[in-house]
Structure 1
């Protein structure tokens, strides 16, 4: 259902902190023109944690409206409160999203049965396709491989997974338990090459915010089985993959976007702040190596 380079979009804010809708529409248009195969508004990189519910789904509606069906929109919709997660997935459907990206409950730290019951309640509440998002470094909740298999087999609307565990062998284990048709997307740009070689079909990407065409070309090479070309792109992009996490994300991403597209506002909402000088230097060098600036 989903494949290729799918940017986890930053949310553009004006200097006063308000949503920069016109610039965001231009940003979405640029992403599609550059070859992005899908869009994820209001994920972690989109500073969803600082958006009110009203703002969150306004951003999703704007993204859907601007995309106009040309690429699928996977709306961030997770919550650590199952009742709120149900409200969110229904709001994502009402906003016109093609799917919802759903983390397991964070902070609460449920056991594996609690994780399963959470997604059972969400899946039974709405027929919108769900892409699980496993990112234990942020949620402190790991959806175990066996639980992913159990969820995928029990609920047909759970169609895929964004794997940001950083454990590359998970791709093979999940392929074995969920089947080849289960859509696996890397959640780590720097691991996407190995992830795709292990059965993944794309990446929900941070780097694609800055280098959408290069990321799209990289994914196309993987899909074609041209791993020599994919490796050449990996070599070019790897310093950028790394530099974008030299300070708290999305600070470096917004700094980089400001270098590539200075006409767009790149403010952050507290508690996120502008990256430090060392991070800025790393981003500048990586942009130069990638041939972007």
Structure 2
């Protein structure tokens, strides 16, 4: 594989697809999943990431995660890159990665481990072990500010490491690691891992792409921002940034607890099939729900559905 070329294909929006759950049973609504993936493809999304955090990865069983990746690959059918989220213990992450590879995923995104005790050396070994165990390329989701960026430095030269989804909103720190690990000397694309709100700042510091949950609802706005960033059209960048900021601020409430449920609520109100969230994410309260409605109306959406999420 030409890993350098693959890395360049990540210089775009990484659309973190949602996992729709049925009201009542909380089972995965596979028909709704298909509709949502088709929506992403129809609107030009070239990199789709099932089993990301906005996919509620940690609310899925291992078998559900495998099935979701398999179905997304089948639905996409080569029309976009599929980057499967994997994680948990190193053994489990490798199991998920090998399964994703077998069903035809193009790459994996390795989640930062959810573990109370992490050392720099241990995390380096964790990422390295997974990357080397798989034949398809890997991206690292780097989001723990207590972990040193030396982890990235030690892994950057691995051919199969093609991207860093950097989700620590410390711009001087990010600019420093980008300068110390030049992309042109490695197979790396730097990706802003904290979506549209932070994308302009990360692009100025060296990012070439950004992740998005908003793309599940309003892909036109996300792509307008990407184009403006790529063209260096600063006036348009900041105009668009001001338009999406209230939505992203609402998602960031309660220490990002609103991240998924705001998108799902907005999608349901707009007539898309997002379903409910699974525990430990609960429904929006009345104030936040009204804020979502106000934002959609300001953006020109016609509200087509009584949301189901707030019904619990």
Q: Structure 1 length as normaliser, TM-score?
A: 0.91
State yes or no: 1:91 paired with 2:99.
yes
Q: How does 1:1-293 map to 2 (within 5 A)?
A: 1=7, 2-15=10-23, 16-79=25-88, 81-136=89-144, 142-153=146-157, 155-181=158-184, 182-189=188-195, 190-246=197-253, 248=257, 249-262=259-272, 264-293=273-302
Unaligned runs of 5+ in 2: 1-6, 303-312
- The whole-number CA distance in structure 2 between the counterparts of 1:282 and 1:134 is 31
- The whole-number CA distance in structure 1 between the counterparts of 2:131 and 2:99 is 14
CA contact 1:78–1:104 (8 Å) conserved in 2 = yes
CA contact 1:171–1:184 (8 Å) conserved in 2 = no
- The whole-number CA distance in structure 1 between the counterparts of 2:14 and 2:270 is 19
Kindly provide the CA deviation profile for residues 158-193 of structure 1, in whole angstroms up to 9, marking residues without a partner as x: 111111111122332222122134211111121111
**Counterparts in 2 of 1:173 and 1:290: CA distance versus 1, 3 Å:** farther
Count of matched residue pairs: 286
Q: Which moved more, 1:266-275 or 1:281-290?
A: 281-290
Which aligned segments of 4 or more residues in structure 1 are displaced greater than 4 angstroms? none
Tell me how far 1:142 sits from its aligned partner: 4.2
Unaligned runs of 5+ in 1: none
- The whole-number CA distance in structure 1 between the counterparts of 2:84 and 2:216 is 16
Q: Secondary structure at the match of 1:101?
A: strand
Q: C-alpha root-mean-square deviation of aligned residues, in Å? A: 1.7
Q: Which moved more, 1:239-248 or 1:212-221?
A: 239-248
Q: Secondary structure at the match of 1:215?
A: helix
Q: Secondary structure at the match of 2:163?
A: strand
Q: Secondary structure at the match of 2:47?
A: coil
Tell me how far 1:31 sits from its aligned partner: 1.0
Tell me how far 1:265 sits from its aligned partner: 4.6
CA contact 2:264–2:275 (8 Å) conserved in 1 = yes
CA contact 2:265–2:274 (8 Å) conserved in 1 = no
Tell me how far 1:224 sits from its aligned partner: 2.0
Kindly provide the CA deviation profile for residues 214-263 of structure 1, in whole angstroms up to 9, marking residues without a partner as x: 1012112211222222222112111111122335231222111111225x
**Counterparts in 2 of 1:235 and 1:43: CA distance versus 1, 3 Å:** same
Q: Structure 2 length as normaliser, TM-score?
A: 0.86
- The whole-number CA distance in structure 2 between the counterparts of 1:72 and 1:280 is 33
CA contact 2:119–2:147 (8 Å) conserved in 1 = no
**Counterparts in 2 of 1:110 and 1:93: CA distance versus 1, 3 Å:** same
Tell me how far 1:143 sits from its aligned partner: 3.9
- The whole-number CA distance in structure 2 between the counterparts of 1:56 and 1:28 is 16
